[in-house]
Amino acid sequence: GTAGVGGAAIRQRKQGLLLTMGTGSTLSLVQAKLAAARSVTVLTGAGISADSGVPTFRGPDGLWRNFRAEDLATPEAFVRDPKLVWEWYNWRRELIATKRPNAAHDVVAQMERRIERFWLITQNVDGLHRDAGSRQLSEIHGNIWKVRCTTCRQVSDNREVPIPILPSCGRCAGLLRPHIVWFGEGLAEEDLQASDAALRNCDICLIIGTSGLVYPAAGFAAVAKRAGAFVVEVNLDPPQRSGVVDATLQGRAKDIVPLLFQA
């Protein structure tokens, strides 16, 4: 049955009890599980960086000149109009350059140091997890501070803000592109393997701030669940993933994540 009015709502689901934030028992359940966990895998999306001032992709401030990420982050868009795509990335680089990790990034970095086996899978390209000290991570959609030559394929760091348009390779003068996985492109084999191993071998899988709309990341929670993990979701919105998530904590990542793990 449905209990509770207002904040605390406990809904009995056919796949077990879905507890939402506001029921103290959810928090203490997750705290206890994390404290006892030998192996934790964290998956993050734009929501963890929203509290640092980086707009999410599908939130109210997710558009640039009325373009959606799906319009610009594609190989076709880059072939058609590389200048426009670089203008968008320059806008994002300029914006991200002034942003700092928030408490949620910091706690995720502390988990890495305190939990026996830990891996972070992030869809974010803003580099804020690295800035917070995370090192055991897969940046499965790339990193906005890396560029790749479209001719010789060399990947290099580039922190120029703005980066001159159109940027050319220092080695072969070929056209540089952001080292980011675009829609329609595959993830790096190394990242897929590291993510799969981490998802199949964790006691707890913590999903923070992702809409779960873009694959393969959208299927990662189910991989962990099938392998026996206890799946926890932290999201500003009400729970979406029916049947996969064991406990949902609704609210801002910067407020909730520090409560889950006492460093």
Q: Which residues bind ligand APR (CB under 6 A)?
A: 45-47, 50-51, 56-59, 62, 69, 123, 141, 209-211, 213-214, 234-237, 252-253
Q: Supply the minimum distance, in Å, between the C-beta of residue 37 and ligand APR.
A: 21
Looking from the CA of 119 toward its CB, the CA atoms found within 13 Å total 20
CB closer to ligand APR out of 169 and 256? 256
CB closer to ligand APR out of 68 and 226? 68
**How big is the CA angle at 190 (ends 188 and 192), to the nearest 5 degrees?**
70
CB closer to ligand APR out of 95 and 168? 95
Q: Supply the minimum distance, in Å, between the C-beta of residue 253 and ligand APR.
A: 4
- In angstroms, the CA 191 to CA 212 distance is 18
CB closer to ligand APR out of 121 and 234? 234
CA distances from 184 to 64, 73, 143, 156, 231 (A): 21, 9, 17, 23, 28
Q: Does residue 141 carry a catalytic annotation?
A: yes
- Of all residues in the shown chain, the one whose CB is closest to ligand APR is 47
In the block, residue with structure tokens 């050319």: 168
Catalytic one of 105, 129, 141, 179: 141
Q: Which of 139, 137, 125 is nearest to 198 (CA)?
A: 137
CA dihedral 56, 61, 64, 67 (to 10 degrees): 80
Q: Supply the minimum distance, in Å, between the C-beta of residue 125 and ligand APR.
A: 7
Q: Supply the minimum distance, in Å, between the C-beta of residue 166 and ligand APR.
A: 23
Contact call for residues 263 and 110 (beta carbons, < 8 A): yes
Residues marked as catalytic: 141
